[in-house]
Structure 1
Amino acid sequence: MKKIKILVVDDEIKLLQTVTEFLTLQNFSVMQASSGSEALKIFTENKKEIELILLDLMLPDISGYSVLREIRKISDVPVIILSARSEVTDQMNGFEKGADDYITKPFSLGLVKLHIEAVLKRAGKMKNILECGKIKIEKGRQLVYREDEMLEMTRREYELLLYFIEHKETVLSRETILNAVWDYDYAGDVRTVDTLVKQIRKKLGDDCNYIHTVYGIGYLFEDKADEK
């Protein structure tokens, strides 16, 4: 799957590296800039690929506002300001100059991720993707990936895997699964679920051993590959 590319602009090198490493772990592709002029150069050369910018305001050469103004002359790429300036007037100024969002420092990395996802969704740049461990599901097209490898799955296999992920860390009986995935009171053998689970496990591989058997009940999905 093509990764969303983000440009992170901040002159605090430690923070720049921390944000970059975090976003990389979240499966984004990240470019870095530690000054305003560097940010403009990188964006101009890669504007067709960069889909979001995290922009600090207090840069060593030109201000983040100046960077934002120049970017807005050539692009409507989503921009999230990251700034220690927390006054309401500063935030209003950021939005007036074309920012899509504003996060004040200090911030949690988890919060930044949520803001990025929200902005990308509003901009129509983020597909309806569900991630769990090494598995990604593109719900709109009903596609399943193990990391970047697309897996061939039948409709029932896809529906069962999606149901497991949406109800992870919950023990599900075979009867519950049948009624949910088949969408009616299934009159057949509950071992149908076992057969389907076996097929899914085989396709996911040993390194995605997320579906655990709960003896006498059914199954439990956890997004870590440890044995039960």
Structure 2
Amino acid sequence: MSRIFIVEDDKAIRGELDELLRNSGYETGYLTDFSNSKADILAASPDLILMDINIPNLNGEQLLKEIRKETDIPVIMVTSRTSETDEVLSMSYGADDYITKPYNPTILLLRISAVLKRSAGTASAQSYNGLQVNDAKGSLTDGSCEMTLTKNEMIIFRFMLDRKGSIVTRDELMTALWDNDEFVNDNALTVNISRLRSKLSELGCEDAIETRKKQGYILR
């Protein structure tokens, strides 16, 4: 049974999360005193951390940064903030996923399940054409330059990487993104793929994503 540690200073929300997770078959733990947050979290040895950004003393992003110096335990940020800047910062500090309040309980549970499956028995770093792919940090690096991807970009890239050399349709990508808390329409998908292409190009992988008209895309 996986153990999930809740880092949330709002007592009511913390209680709701605790009940939701226990009713879904998880063991839980949580902080009530935030004076020694990092040490208390690490001492609990959880399988996954749910962390709010707005917590006492160190904010969630700073605490995440400190935790990443010690461990690669999966972390999902839970916050009321909705700006892309907060998402990018959280992912760059090493968050595995990001969900905003008010969250859909079913989607949150799906996110938790997906992150736990990714982390179980797999290394966080893999490679693509000489680039190291770090799911925990949401980044690609060639050893000298590190490029942070947004959550949507990483979902798209990971989906295509798992099917490298095969055609991936737009419908398949939309399905892969369906449980994201940001609505993704056809135009938004095009923008995300364009940005992903640009970032791969900056890392020396030009023309990495080939468009097949009326079929989809191929990651080469």
Q: TM-score range by the shorter chain?
A: 0.5 to 0.7
TM-score (normalised: structure 2): 0.53
**Size of the alignment, in residue pairs?**
122
Q: Which residue of 1 aligns with 2:23?
A: 25
Aligned to 1:74, what secondary structure does the other structure show? coil
CA contact (8 A) 1:51 1:125 kept: no
Is 1:12 the counterpart of 2:2 in the alignment?
no
CA contact (8 A) 1:10 1:33 kept: yes
Q: Which residue of 1 aligns with 2:60?
A: 64
Aligned to 2:30, what secondary structure does the other structure show? strand
Q: Which residue of 2 aligns with 1:116?
A: 112
Determine the C-alpha separation between the residues in 2 that align with 1:57 and 1:80. 10
Aligned to 1:6, what secondary structure does the other structure show? strand
CA contact (8 A) 1:12 1:34 kept: no
Q: Which residue of 2 aligns with 1:87?
A: 83
Aligned to 1:118, what secondary structure does the other structure show? helix
Determine the C-alpha separation between the residues in 1 that align with 2:110 and 2:33. 25
Determine the C-alpha separation between the residues in 2 that align with 1:34 and 1:111. 26
Residue pairs, 1:69-218, within 5 angstroms = 69-124=65-120
Q: Extract unaligned runs of 5+ from structure 2.
A: 123-220
1:72-130 alpha-carbon deviations (Å, 9 max, x no partner): 0110000000011110111011100100000011112111100000101111169xxxx
CA contact (8 A) 1:36 1:63 kept: no
Determine the C-alpha separation between the residues in 2 that align with 1:14 and 1:57. 16
Cα gap change, 1:53 to 1:15, in 2 (>3 Å): same
Cα gap change, 1:9 to 1:70, in 2 (>3 Å): same
Give the superposition deviation at 1:6. Answer: 0.5
Determine the C-alpha separation between the residues in 1 that align with 2:113 and 2:91. 18
Determine the C-alpha separation between the residues in 2 that align with 1:70 and 1:29. 24
CA contact (8 A) 1:57 1:83 kept: yes
TM-align CA RMSD: 1.7
Determine the C-alpha separation between the residues in 1 that align with 2:52 and 2:34. 9
Aligned to 1:61, what secondary structure does the other structure show? coil
Aligned to 1:80, what secondary structure does the other structure show? strand
TM-score (normalised: structure 1): 0.51
Q: 113-122 or 38-47, which moves further after superposition?
A: 38-47
Rg (Cα) greater in structure? 1
Higher relative contact order (CA 8 A, sep 6+): 2
Determine the C-alpha separation between the residues in 1 that align with 2:121 and 2:79. 24
Determine the C-alpha separation between the residues in 1 that align with 2:94 and 2:48. 13
Determine the C-alpha separation between the residues in 2 that align with 1:125 and 1:39. 27
Cα gap change, 1:78 to 1:31, in 2 (>3 Å): same
Determine the C-alpha separation between the residues in 1 that align with 2:95 and 2:37. 16
Determine the C-alpha separation between the residues in 2 that align with 1:22 and 1:93. 27
Give the superposition deviation at 1:61. Answer: 1.8
Give the superposition deviation at 1:36. Answer: 4.2
Moved over 6 A (4+): none
Is 1:45 the counterpart of 2:43 in the alignment?
yes
Cα gap change, 1:16 to 1:112, in 2 (>3 Å): same
